[in-house]
A = this chain, B = another copy of it.
């Protein structure tokens, strides 16, 4: 297990696939770096529920980070992307929202997520060296990223949001939030139809760090404004990741 040869290169971005075995689970991942190889910082990208590690907005974020000299890494979430394709033939890699809780739980839930991301970061650090590391992830990207940030002190800054204490692993999030001690920007959508605003505010409130800022915009769950989702969040990570 290790680099799996699924490589690509375009627009100054080098992409390399890897596959790890973690506690009996197969964990497919991808690492993006500048083509010239120079990169002294790293951001882990957590995709949202029902999508996968190379969904369009994750690839776009990777490009924007690379443009600032920051490498990026992503793995498929529990039961998502290539993990699901490995189990069931003939699916697109996308899943439906109804299936989501089962996918999350059968994929191992919060504990497995922490172990999978730690193993992926261990692998990248072994290959590329340890560097200041941040997290970017909304919705399921926060279901994964909040526990990872709370438990892995290598994460120095996190962009989180679109999640509350009432979600599939809400109890874990509320319990672990006080252990998040690095700077956090937390995004919420005022009219979120999936995550009640109150539950999002409650989770932000529980974050242990004093250096946290809530950004809330009008609109539904998936309508985060582009200035917030892309430019704003990448600028934030770039400024705070040292």
Contact = CB atoms under 8 A, between A and B. Distances in A.
A215 B217 contact: no
Copies in the complex: 2
A215 B213 contact: yes
A217 B225 CA distance: 20
A214 B213 contact: no
Interface residues of A, number: 14
A1 to B, nearest CB: 42
A216 interface: yes
A172 interface: no
A215 B215 contact: yes
A190 interface: yes
A212 interface: yes
Contacts of A218: 210, 212
B217 A216 contact: no
A217 B228 contact: no
Contacts of A215: 213-215
A151 interface: no
B205 A213 contact: no
Interface string A53-94: 000000000000000000000000000000000000000000
Interface of A: 190, 201, 204-205, 210, 212-218, 225, 228
8 closest cross-chain pairs (CB), A and B: A214-B216, A213-B217, A210-B218, A215-B215, A213-B215, A212-B218, A214-B214, A213-B216
